[in-house]
Structure 1
Amino acid sequence: MDDSPPNRYRLDTASSATVNLPDGRTLGYAQYGLLTGLAVFYLHGLPGSRLEGALFDAPAITPLARIISIDRPGYGLSSPQPNRTILDHAKDVDYLAKHLNLDSYAVLGISGGGPYALACAAALPADKLKAVLIICGLGPPEIGKKGMDWWHWIGFTIGFRFFPGACRWLFSRETLGRLDLTDQERFDRFQQEWSKARSKAHPKDVAALDDPDLMRWLVRNYREAHQQGLNVGFVPDGKLITTDFGFQIKDIRSDLPIHLWYGKHDTHAPQSHGEGIAARLGPNARLRIENETHGSLTWNCRVRALEDLLEAM
């Protein structure tokens, strides 16, 4: 992969840094986009890493904001945090905001980062947190699983909660989870698998998955996500977001703008989750349903969604 022409999505770690937290842990993060722009904390998916922030960096798009993308515990450069809660990550975000001397900021959570964005909405200081954006984010377990495909339904009902070892093993055998292979080998295998599956894929996903630049970025992101092992990042993360969040969405302050973007054809974090979150938030929620899938919503709508977030700040 290193011999390929320059990628539209950054694959490097030049913008990465760490900060030491009060409890002795290390928190990894990377900064992308317009570094003099409005600050937006990016909370990655399940699995994921701080490298996801490259979606909002040049030359992927024209940068609109200062994207501060954080590794959750056990991912990338961040230390594991045994027995953590979803609300604990909001404390990490708060500490990093103080470390960076930010007067105000927003939070953007994608997919598995959605629960953590809600936690930030519930816990971060009202004078600092100005707006929240959730793109295809998972909601709390009580919303249900209507619209999920069978694979995600099993994983988010019984898989992570009762069979975490099986989840770890299954994912470690998928191409993107095969860290015994080089990045080039995983890229080649993924391309071969996609060529066989392409005819059955949703048309919205074809353009994205046909893009070799995006595939190289995904391969790199997954390696960073799992460099400490699936047992310390991915598996605990999955269990956390499928159990009680530790707070009620309805108690989030009513003056905080929260924008929710969901895909009509999303079978991972379906439309029903956006509707369920919006119903619990009340009038401060801004729900949009786009004609997209889980993946295509991010690739196709990230600029418009970010523009809405910045306007709300």
Structure 2
Amino acid sequence: MFKRLTFLLLVGLLAWAYQAIQPPPPKLCGSPSGPLVTASRIKLRDGRYLAYKEHGVPKEVARYKIIYVHAFGSTRHDALIATTVTKEVLEDLGVYIVSFDRPGYGESDPDPKRTRKSLALDIEELGDQLGLGSKFYVIGYSMGGQVIWKCLRYIPHRLAGATLIAPVVNYWWPGLPANLSSAYYKQPPRDQWALRVAHHIPWLIYWWNTQKLFPTSSVVSSSNPNMNIFSRQDLEIIRNANVSERDNKVQAKQQGEFESVLRDMMVGFGTWEFDPLDLKNPFAGKEGSVHLWQGDEDLLVPVELQRYIAEKLPWIHYHELPGAGHLFPAADGISEAILKALLIEEK
């Protein structure tokens, strides 16, 4: 009798544990229980829908066509390069910008098979379906900046130029030396653990970020955020943020936290099939350029990692901003400078 009870208890515990680590199914946009579809969308090669938003001048008359990749926990509405640069500047330069919801975010369908390569191919297909021509520019911010490394690896032949803005660094890239590991330990312990889970045991990532025993990731948690991850400049920018920007954060995860921010962590901090520090200059003939922008007071992405990357890849135009935190693209005049450096100032 005792053995039978023990067996039943063990089975019950295993069943409970299995249920605890399984994320709920996403609430697909357009489904009976899901959010409404309000965005323009394209249908991708595998049947998924990708939502997008256009900014600037019409693409038919644009001199420059840009695909913008949003940050972690954001949407197509958070295209800082488009929303913080004046309409007059965009028109004078002749710039068309399209931002899109990355898979699982906003109104884009989740991609349960998402990989480093698949998102670069999504960007290529977005450019093709919108008729952006054989080459276009790409700009990515934060986790979206990390995506630009994937574009440089998998679709360099489609790029006219690229900009990485405070791109998130995967601490497990082979090319990063051990003596830079101190940058990892500058993060709050709760974030160190969240990244360890994302890299080493990704199948536990949903449970880790929903359990109540230990603090969860600072950047994922909305109920218990850690404001110490923001610099003085960041906090000022946050204080000045408008209500619509905060609403965008809610819309980012409306289909479910797992297929948006948590899968983002799994892909971004997992094991990559290539090392960005091994990349070759895609514009060896100076027909384009690659730029990396970083604030030296960024508490989310350590500046010493970007300095090392810029040193190893000297073909990148490195721009370091004194006193700037992670949110510096929202500061006055910065997005305009980023745009002009890519399009007209440095080749």
Q: Partners in 2 of 1:160 and 1:235 — Cα distance?
A: 12
**Are the aligned partners of 1:176 and 1:222 in contact in 2 as well (CA < 8 Å)?**
no
* 2:98 is aligned with 1:57: no
TM-score normalised by the chain length of structure 1? 0.78
Which residue of structure 2 aligns with residue 238 of structure 1?
265
CA RMSD of aligned residues (A): 3.3
For residue 111 of structure 2, give the secondary structure of its aligned residue in structure 1: coil
Instruction: Report the alpha carbon displacement of residue 167 of structure 1 after superposing the two structures with TM.
Output: 2.3
Which one-letter code corresponds to 1:45 in the other structure? Answer: A
TM-score normalised by the chain length of structure 2? 0.71
Instruction: Report the alpha carbon displacement of residue 298 of structure 1 after superposing the two structures with TM.
Output: 4.3
Q: How many residues align?
A: 281
Of 246, 260, 282, the residue aligned with 1:219 is: 246
**Are the aligned partners of 2:116 and 2:150 in contact in 1 as well (CA < 8 Å)?**
yes
Which residue of structure 1 aligns with residue 9 of structure 2?
none
Which residue of structure 2 aligns with residue 121 of structure 1?
152
Q: Partners in 2 of 1:149 and 1:134 — Cα distance?
A: 22
Between the aligned residues of both structures, percent identity stands at 22
Which residue of structure 2 aligns with residue 91 of structure 1?
121
**Are the aligned partners of 1:40 and 1:66 in contact in 2 as well (CA < 8 Å)?**
yes
Q: Mark the runs of 5 or more structure 1 residues left unpaired by the alignment.
A: 1-12, 179-189
Which structure 2 residues correspond to residues 1-313 of structure 1 after superposition, within 5 A? 16-35=39-58, 36-37=61-62, 38-53=64-79, 56-57=82-83, 62-64=88-90, 65-103=95-133, 104-126=135-157, 128-140=158-170, 141-142=172-173, 143=176, 144=181, 146=183, 148-150=186-188, 151-158=190-197, 161-162=200-201, 163-165=204-206, 166-168=208-210, 177=222, 202-211=231-240, 214-256=241-283, 257-280=289-312, 282-291=313-322, 292-300=324-332, 301-311=334-344, 312=346
Distance 1:81 1:264, change over 3 A: same
Deviations 1:24-72 (CA, angstroms, capped at 9, x unpaired): 1111111122334311111111121111126523776644322211211
Which residue of structure 1 aligns with residue 17 of structure 2?
none
Instruction: Report the alpha carbon displacement of residue 119 of structure 1 after superposing the two structures with TM.
Output: 0.4
Q: Partners in 2 of 1:34 and 1:138 — Cα distance?
A: 30
**Are the aligned partners of 2:198 and 2:270 in contact in 1 as well (CA < 8 Å)?**
no
**Are the aligned partners of 1:109 and 1:137 in contact in 2 as well (CA < 8 Å)?**
yes
